[in-house]
Amino acid sequence: MVRASEKNAAMTTTRELVAWSHQKKCEKAVQSLGKNGFAAVYCPSREEAVAYIVGEAADAASVGFGNSLSLADLGVADRLGKMGKELLMHVRPGLSPEERIAVMRRQLTCDLFLTGCNAVTLSGCLVNIDATGNRVASMSFGPKKVIVVAGRNKLVDGDVDAAIKRVKEWTAPPNARRLDCNTPCAVTGVCSECRSPDRICRITTIIERKPRLTDLRVLVVNEDLGL
């Protein structure tokens, strides 16, 4: 019998072993998402994720963006802009509040909507917490195609409560800080279930199965992306 240590003789570096552990976790998530009806794809690196998105965007005239750090990390907007796509990004500098809302409305009916995801359980559920709800609305129904990008740091080996806990601990406070919200967590880094008018945790969605009428793909990337 060949010992595991001999099989893994080529995996000499800690980095490789860590990547292998993450790969197994990513593959488990992809398998579970597939069982739940999503088209789930394992991407070993961000380059594969970008190539997938660029390929799927070929026949899209308009591309909507959730305000996602994962997508910013991929740098995919520049690529799509150079391809002549109309980019529907409501956080562009210089937009008036009315213009921002108009862009968010157009995202709901765009050809391709790209977004990150706050947490993905290993049982294959997508968990998100929004302030406005435009992102989670577009994820569920409206755009012709939706691609959700989830870095390995978004995977949760637990139930939906564990996923929500992850968002409240690791995503919402730094997001509140990024968005310059007047919330306690933007100062302390810790959620206090505030009653602030600036509270960003207003809408929690759990997508348990692929929405019936939405072509929703999930890319699980073996790299840390976003918060």
Distance in Å, CB of 179 to ligand SF4, minimum: 10
Which positions from 82 to 111 touch ligand SF4 by CB under 6 A, shown as an x/- string? Answer: ------------------------------
Considering the complex, state which of residue 95 and residue 194 has its C-beta at the smaller distance from ligand SF4: 194
Site for ligand SF4 in 108-167 (CB under 6 A): none
Closest CA relative to residue 113, chosen from 82, 146, 136, 80: 146
Please give the C-alpha separations between residue 128 and each of 7, 92, 109, in angstroms, as whole numbers.
39, 22, 20
Considering the complex, state which of residue 103 and residue 163 has its C-beta at the smaller distance from ligand SF4: 163
Q: 136-154: b or e for each residue (b if 16 or more CB lie within 10 Å)?
A: bbbbbebbebbbbbbbbbb
- 227 near ligand SF4 (CB under 6 A): no
Distance in Å, CB of 199 to ligand SF4, minimum: 4
Neighbours of 169 (CB within 10 A): 13
- Answer positive or negative: Cα dihedral of 99, 81, 55, 16: negative
Site for ligand SF4 in 175-204 (CB under 6 A): 176, 183-185, 191-194, 196, 199-201
Considering the complex, state which of residue 40 and residue 201 has its C-beta at the smaller distance from ligand SF4: 201
Separation of alpha carbons 205 and 227, rounded Å? 18
Separation of alpha carbons 49 and 40, rounded Å? 12
Positions that interact with ligand SF4 (CB under 6 A)? 168, 172-173, 176, 183-185, 191-194, 196, 199-201
